[in-house]
Amino acid sequence: MTRPPTFEELFRDCQTTAVHLEMRDAYMKSDPAFIDWKAGEILDPAERWADWHAIVTEATSRGVEVRRARVVSTPVSEYIRFEYDVTDGLNITAGESVRWLSRRNATGIALPGNDFWLFDSHLVLVNHFDGEGENMEVELTEDPEVAKLCESAFEAVWQRATPHAAFELV
């Protein structure tokens, strides 16, 4: 049996686009960075997540367009406030474009049931979380119908979403 590619390998092999759609209001509340942020500690995201920052920076420096869209309930959860606070220092500085969409503005969009990454419009990494937002497993598929659904959903969200710098937390 062949070992599935690591996240770093997926980014390294990516040629043109990597898009990520997030649709939960909380992820991994057990994350030490989230716990530290809640306790009022100042975080340097690029230092705290140096591996992630390096992976994305390397991809964007090769010309890979990396975009992330977040569909969130408003007013936002404490976890989404945390994500918002670290986005500039992590995602934006690494070269990602990030947009936010209030869930109330997503009603007319057909969304997949899970968060995902879509690499080069054909390879989908599906993230499965439990009810508390803890990561359970990932699923990798090249099913053309799944890729088409994910690409369509992402682009529909992206078109309606607000760029990070203009998004106001409510």
Q: What is the pLDDT of residues 108-134, one digit of tens each?
A: 999 999 999 999 999 999 999 988 888
The 3-class SS string of 74-123 reads CCCCHHHHHHHHHHHHHHHHHCCEEEEEEHHHCCCCCCCCCEEEEECCCE
Give mean pLDDT, residues 142-165. 98
Does 2 score more than 80 pLDDT?
no
d(CA 30, CA 136): 13
What pLDDT is attached to residue 73?
96
The predicted-structure confidence for 14-48, as pLDDT tens digits, reads as follows 999 999 999 999 998 889 999 999 999 999 999 99
The predicted-structure confidence for 80-113, as pLDDT tens digits, reads as follows 999 999 999 999 999 999 999 999 999 999 999 9
d(CA 70, CA 101): 6
What pLDDT is attached to residue 112?
96
What pLDDT is attached to residue 135?
86
Q: What is the mean pLDDT of the chain?
A: 95
d(CA 125, CA 122): 10
